[in-house]
Amino acid sequence: MKIRTSLVQLAVLSFLLTVRATAQADPPDARIVALTLNPQKVTVLHLRPGFVSSVRLPEEVSSVVLGDPAAFKGEHSEAEPRLVFFKPSSPKPAKTNALITTRSGREVSLTLVSEGSTSQDAVDYVLEYEPPHSFIIGPPPASFLIGETKHLESPKPIGPDENPTHRNDPEPQRREQFQNREWQGKELRVALGRSEENGQDMTVAFSVLNSSSRMIELLPPQVQLAGTAKQKHGKAITADPVALKDYRISTRRLAPGASADGVVVFERPAFKQSTDRLLLQIAQAEEVDRPVVVPISFVASGKGWLQ
């Protein structure tokens, strides 16, 4: 009788172990997550040993850095320039961070979480970032642009060094304003327009001119607070990015002699050192390391939004 009871218990135990092993072998709940790209936020990516998760960016990736390379692996191939793959290296629970940098200089921060091989939590199979609204390039709203930054239509490209006054010119004043601006740069030229404040938000208008003989593509504008800091062995140049709340630009592609107009909206720092400067940075896609930098006045020229 005891032998029969033992055999029954052994059969039940074997059945339970088989059921448990089968449950563990089942694939986890898979999730496909779509988010708007926001460099100011950190996204949690849920991983699991034995599974790979992919992160798709709206632009090409230039580098991937892991906080703990021993616990996680990150892979990026030039054959898939917008994809990054992550997976845990150990069956044990682990957590670290990862930083993805795109070719335009934008940064994406992730927290990689693996609850281990025995976890039944859902896994993020795909994390796809959608372009933020400020990536959408279209004609800027009329309330964002002032008269001196409107796009100029002319049968002949107008350069900043040319005399734009002609007898048959229907808009001589606007062309004169275009000519009298303080342009920075050589082939890619940038000039600031009017700036306005609304509370802590600052809106700065600007224009871009292609003075080269080739087609160029513009990267999204950036604003920095740059200065110098004292160190033991001398002074070091510092540059802290200022987060943009929004930007608009009439076109990203400029033919030779063509111009574009736009604005940037950002929260102005509450204060700065006497040696610090606010800088607007504009670069073209093929020369990201050679941007045109234009100083922005720390105090805007007017109050309220640009009209």
**Domain at 27-131: CATH code:** 2.60.40
Mean local confidence (pLDDT), 87-92: 92
% of the chain residues with pLDDT over 90: 27
pTM of the complete model beyond 0.85: no
Confidence of residue 235 (pLDDT cuts 50, 70, 90): low
pLDDT in tens, 117-174: 888 888 999 999 887 654 434 444 433 443 343 343 433 444 444 444 444 444 444 4
Phi, psi (deg, nearest 5) at residue 207: -130, 150
- Domain locations in the chain? 27-131, 136-303
Cα(98)–Cα(83) distance, integer angstroms:
14
53 pLDDT higher than 90: yes
Do the first three CATH levels of 27-131 and 136-303 match, i.e. the same topology? yes
The answer to which of 60-64, 102-106, 113-117 has the lowest mean pLDDT is: 102-106
Average pLDDT, the chain: 76
Sign for the pseudo-dihedral over CA of 216, 152, 180, 148? negative
- Is the CB of residue 177 less than 8 Å from the CB of residue 280? no
Mean local confidence (pLDDT), 13-38: 66
136-303, what's its fold?
Answer: Immunoglobulin-like (2.60.40)
State the pLDDT at residue 228: 62
Name the most confidently modeled range: 15-24, 95-104, 254-263.
254-263
